[in-house]
Structure 1
């Protein structure tokens, strides 16, 4: 039987303790606390939210200044997030920039 990496107890800079088997340094407790309660960022996964935050995109208007290709190329942005973002943009009469 093949097993994955063993989970290790870690402590983040905020003092949260959690177990994780990957090398990813993200604290799941901090990530849950940062998740918006409403808005379009609430709908997408944490990696996709971090990708948008890295580009300083926090509104649909800012998002509409980018092409779908540009957003898709961001690390952490997957097909599900792109589909959700397109839907929310359209519901607000906004669209990804066309090339």
Structure 2
């Protein structure tokens, strides 16, 4: 039997963007779309683990949920 700690923050964007990008957001304590909207696209792209592919997927997900980045 395996035991693990369930962390709802770890589920944020699960299946949307790759693990390195999710870890980058987690490191910055960004664990909701509301917090993500406080950042500009440029700021997120500067995080280690974020690339063009992750950003494209993230922007599509945000658009589906009527959320957008802060203007730079």
Q: With structure 1 as the length reference, what TM-score do the two structures score?
A: 0.59
1:41-56 to structure 2, matched below 5 A, reads 41-56=14-29
Does residue 56 of structure 2 align to residue 83 of structure 1? yes
Cα distance between partner residues in 2 of 1:56 and 1:49: 10
The answer to which structure has the higher strand fraction is 1
Partner of 1:64 in structure 2? 37
Conservation of the 8 A alpha-carbon contact between 2:13 and 2:22 = no
SS of the equivalent of 1:88 reads helix
Please state how far the C-alpha of 1:45 moved relative to its aligned partner.
0.8
SS of the equivalent of 1:61 reads helix
Structure 1: gaps (5+ residues)? 1-34
Structure 2: gaps (5+ residues)? 1-9
After the TM superposition, which parts of structure 1 deviate over 6 Å for at least 4 consecutive aligned residues? none
Cα distance between partner residues in 2 of 1:72 and 1:91: 20
Alignment coverage as a number of residue pairs: 63
Distance 1:41 1:65, change over 3 A: farther
Give 1 or 2 for the bigger CA radius of gyration: 1
